[in-house]
Amino acid sequence: MDIRLEPWSEPALALLRKINTPEMRRHVGGPEPEEQLLARHSRYLAMPAEGHGCMFAVLFGDDMVGSIAYHQRAWQDRQIYETGWNVLPPYQGKGIAAAAGRALIDIVREAAARTPDGPRSLHAFPSVDNASSNALCRRLGFRLVGACDFEYPRDSGSWMRSNDWRLDLTARTQPNEVP
């Protein structure tokens, strides 16, 4: 499968607009107004320069079909890496999210190895009601820590009921990882 991760760029704004639909954002509070969408796009563009993560467009062949990211954040009094993803509806169920997830895990493991005092775990926080994202976490080798209240977007004051999935970045595989 020809899946590549490409760092976020100006052309990815069109992808962000395709993701900003009621169907795609039903588990994270719904679509955002254009002003918030443009602010999100600017944050994504700035992530690499800040040195704490990166947003990627997921490419299937030459088409942008989704997004995936990692960034550093504080969680329960420690530093972690957090990830999240989207795959456009016509491309769901084809293994694209799993391929993108495996590629991202490799990138985050490399980032963790370069920063000895940095985070040693990658977490995903899908809604407890998002069956496909929870299944993807399991498939990628994350371990379910449990349900939690999670603020999304960060610093928004908006809370959602999520599952906290954790992947140990120091282990090369996890017990339930599917190669």
CA–CA dist 56, 155 (Å, integer): 22
- How far CA 164 is from CA of 1, 54, 70, 94, 134, in Å, comes to 29, 21, 15, 25, 10
Tell me the whole-structure pTM to 2 decimals: 0.90
Tens digits of residue pLDDT in 143-156 = 999 999 988 767 77
pLDDT score, position 177: 45
Question: Any idea what DSSP says for residue 118?
Answer: S
Q: What's the pLDDT band for 27 if we cut at 50, 70, 90?
A: confident
The total number of residues shown for the chain amounts to: 179
What the chain holds in terms of domains, given with CATH numbers, is: 3-168 (3.40.630.30)
pLDDT interval class at 175 (50, 70, 90): very low
pLDDT tens track for 63-102: 999 999 999 999 999 999 999 999 999 999 999 999 999 9
Q: How far apart, in whole angstroms, are the C-alpha atoms of residue 57 and residue 150?
A: 24
